């Protein structure tokens, strides 16, 4: 077991690894953080910056008393570096926490590189150290040699699902005479709305779906028995599930009025700002694995994108994760080797904030171990505690990564549920109050334990 003066080894400089490193360093412990980029790149990353956002640039809802809001509130109270980076890099995004992805990564990289107790090693880690505390946070694109090491260490083999990313277009090539600016139900940070909306008539929607279904896809050699992640399905997969599936999914027009017609469009494609300069936009929910030439052809059928120039096409990539319920404790330690923690998407969570949250938890639990204390799980009533309880306690058969939802948190007491049975918002608000109160009690108890 590592002693207090021995550095903790963290493998992976993504969101989870950076958050874990920050928590340990701020607690007074030395950290050795490995990140293989830019020396060794992945199929999805574009830079050598730490905590690079590969897919969307949204950290999900900031609507008070929603489950994503609750998790972010907990992380803020726990001193999350990544939430500080998000506030620094925030750009308009309606009720969502949307960031300039490069500014977000630059802020995080600078904080890690400048911390006196963090040693950043720009090299590939191809093995798990045999001694000392280790946090594995190599993410869904873990390199082959290390993935094999993890598989041998856990004895579980590797599990995979396939994920996709959305295209990004040059703002100057969007036809502003066609699109309109608005956020659903007028919920926005700016008076004019935070999204660009491409309205489609029924005829335009039908033509788009027809061409989408005929489009030639890129063949990424996916075995038939390996699934997509259900919460992030490619749009062509959604279209195959029914003609109106897109119109009730990423192309739903609900809450939007086209100011030129005064009516709700038949369908809408929303474009979300990518950076502080508003020089590029991504197609919200348009992850796909069509051939690049087909993406250009089909997506230019969308009104307003007739002459769009694509800065990035949609792509597909493999995500790697372990069967966490069979392997991890609620403190994210390997059951058979508690000096080893796993955090981020590789431990079975999906989403930026969820990845940062498990990194924060692993860092704090590793700090407790270094103090000679038994790590204490976060309260089950909290979003963070429930997330860790899910990955460590879900059914192992068919286990798939999860985002934070209220379904993961324990139900309210029967009397409270009965009193609020007709008011869903009030029930969610009470769940959030209970979670934050429980977190404050947990933190106070931990302070007393340290003393």
- Quick: pLDDT tens for 336-371: 999 999 999 999 899 999 999 999 999 999 999 999
Q: Which domains does the chain have, with CATH numbers?
A: 8-157+323-450 (3.50.50.60), 164-318 (2.40.30.260)
Cα separations in angstroms, 332 against 44, 81, 232, 282: 26, 20, 25, 34
pLDDT of amino acid 219: 64
- What the block records as the tokens of 439 is 């977190």
Give the whole-angstrom CA distance, residue 214 versus residue 166: 19
Higher pLDDT, 154 or 27: 27
pLDDT of amino acid 140: 77
Mean pLDDT of 303-311: 97
Mean pLDDT of 108-115: 98
pLDDT band at 400 (very low <50, low <70, confident <90, very high): confident
Mean pLDDT of 328-332: 98
Strand, coil or helix: what is 411?
coil
Q: Is the pLDDT of residue 1 over 60?
A: no
Give the whole-angstrom CA distance, residue 431 versus residue 408: 11
pLDDT of amino acid 23: 98
Give the whole-angstrom CA distance, residue 36 versus residue 48: 9
- What the block records as the tokens of 148 is 């094999």
The closest of 303, 396, 366 to 133, measured between CA atoms, is: 366
pLDDT band at 222 (very low <50, low <70, confident <90, very high): low
pLDDT of amino acid 446: 82
Q: Is 418 exposed, middle or buried (0-12, 13-18, 19+ CB in 10 A)?
A: exposed
- What the block records as the tokens of 236 is 């062509």
Q: Is the pLDDT of residue 172 over 50?
A: yes
pLDDT band at 223 (very low <50, low <70, confident <90, very high): low
Mean pLDDT of 70-95: 97
The closest of 46, 57, 65 to 85, measured between CA atoms, is: 57
pLDDT in tens, 112-160: 999 999 999 999 998 999 999 999 999 877 887 888 888 888 776 656 7
Q: Is the pLDDT of residue 39 over 90?
A: no
* Inter-residue contact 94 to 195 (CB < 8 Å): yes
Question: What phi, psi does 8 have (nearest 5°)?
Answer: -80, 135
Q: What is the mean pLDDT of the chain?
A: 91
* Inter-residue contact 144 to 158 (CB < 8 Å): no
* Inter-residue contact 318 to 147 (CB < 8 Å): no
Cα separations in angstroms, 52 against 46, 94, 316, 395, 431: 8, 22, 17, 31, 32
Strand, coil or helix: what is 159?
strand
Q: What residues have CB less than 8 Å from 391, skipping those under 6 apart?
A: 324, 325, 328, 332, 347, 348, 349, 358, 402
* Inter-residue contact 274 to 93 (CB < 8 Å): no
Strand, coil or helix: what is 376?
coil
Higher pLDDT, 11 or 446: 11
pLDDT of amino acid 135: 98
pLDDT band at 24 (very low <50, low <70, confident <90, very high): very high
pLDDT band at 220 (very low <50, low <70, confident <90, very high): low
- What the block records as the tokens of 334 is 């390997």
Portion of the chain with pLDDT greater than 70, in percent: 94
Q: Is the pLDDT of residue 450 over 80?
A: no
pLDDT of amino acid 226: 54
pLDDT of amino acid 157: 60
Check residue 290 and give left, alpha or beta (phi > 0: left; psi -120 to 50: alpha).
beta
pLDDT of amino acid 305: 98
Give the whole-angstrom CA distance, residue 56 versus residue 160: 20
pLDDT of amino acid 3: 47
Q: What residues have CB less than 8 Å from 52, skipping those under 6 apart?
A: 14, 37, 45, 46, 101, 105
pLDDT band at 2 (very low <50, low <70, confident <90, very high): very low
According to DSSP H, which parts of 64-177 are helical?
67-77, 81-88, 101-114, 144-154
Q: Is the pLDDT of residue 318 over 60?
A: yes
Q: Which of 54-63, 406-415, 432-441 has the highest mean pLDDT?
A: 432-441
Strands, E assignment, 225-279: 267-273
Mean pLDDT of 17-44: 93
């Amino acid at each position: 077991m590592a002693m207090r003066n021995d550095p903790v080894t963290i493998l992976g400089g993504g969101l989870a690894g950076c958050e874990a490193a920050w928590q340990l360093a701020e607690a007074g412990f030395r950290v050795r953080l490995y990140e293989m980029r830019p020396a060794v790149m992945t199929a999805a990353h574009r830079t050598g910056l730490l905590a690079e956002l590969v897919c969307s640039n949204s950290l999900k809802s900031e609507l008070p008393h929603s489950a994503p809001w609750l998790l972010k509130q907990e992380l803020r109270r726990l001193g999350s570096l990544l939430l500080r980076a998000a506030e620094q890099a925030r750009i308009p995004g309606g009720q969502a926490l949307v960031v300039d992805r490069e500014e977000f990564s630059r802020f995080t990289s600078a904080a890690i590189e400048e911390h006196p107790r963090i040693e950043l090693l720009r090299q590939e880690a191809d093995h798990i150290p045999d001694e000392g505390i280790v946090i594995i946070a190599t993410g869904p694109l873990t390199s082959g040699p290390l993935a094999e090491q993890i598989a041998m260490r856990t004895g579980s083999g590797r599990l995979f699902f396939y994920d996709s990313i959305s295209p990004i277009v040059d703002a100057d090539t969007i036809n502003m005479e066609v699109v309109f600016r608005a956020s659903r139900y007028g919920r926005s940070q700016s008076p004019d709305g935070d999204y660009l909306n491409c309205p489609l008539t029924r005829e335009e929607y039908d033509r788009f779906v027809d061409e989408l279904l005929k489009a030639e896809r890129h063949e990424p050699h996916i075995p038939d028995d390996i699934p997509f992640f259900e919460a992030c399905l490619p749009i062509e997969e959604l279209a195959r599930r029914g003609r109106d599936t897109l119109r009730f999914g990423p192309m739903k027009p609900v809450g939007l009025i086209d100011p030129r017609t005064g009516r709700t469009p038949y369908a809408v494609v929303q474009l979300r700002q990518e950076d502080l300069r508003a020089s590029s936009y991504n197609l919200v929910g348009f992850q796909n694995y069509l051939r690049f030439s087909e993406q250009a052809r089909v997506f230019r059928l969308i009104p307003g994108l007739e002459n769009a120039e694509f800065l990035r096409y949609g792509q597909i990539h493999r995500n790697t994760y372990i069967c966490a319920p069979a392997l991890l404790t609620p403190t994210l330690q390997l059951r058979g080797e508690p000096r080893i923690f796993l955090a981020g998407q590789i431990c079975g969570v999906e989403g930026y904030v969820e990845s940062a949250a498990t990194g924060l938890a692993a860092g704090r639990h590793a700090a407790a171990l270094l103090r000679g204390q038994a790590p204490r799980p976060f309260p089950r009533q909290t979003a963070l505690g429930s997330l860790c309880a899910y990955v460590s306690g879900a059914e192992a058969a068919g286990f798939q990564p999860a985002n934070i939802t209220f379904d993961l948190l324990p139900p309210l007491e029967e009397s409270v549920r009965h009193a609020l049975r007709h008011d869903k918002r009030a029930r969610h608000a009470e769940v959030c109050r209970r979670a934050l109160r429980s977190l404050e009690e947990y933190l106070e108890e931990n302070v007393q334990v340290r003393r």
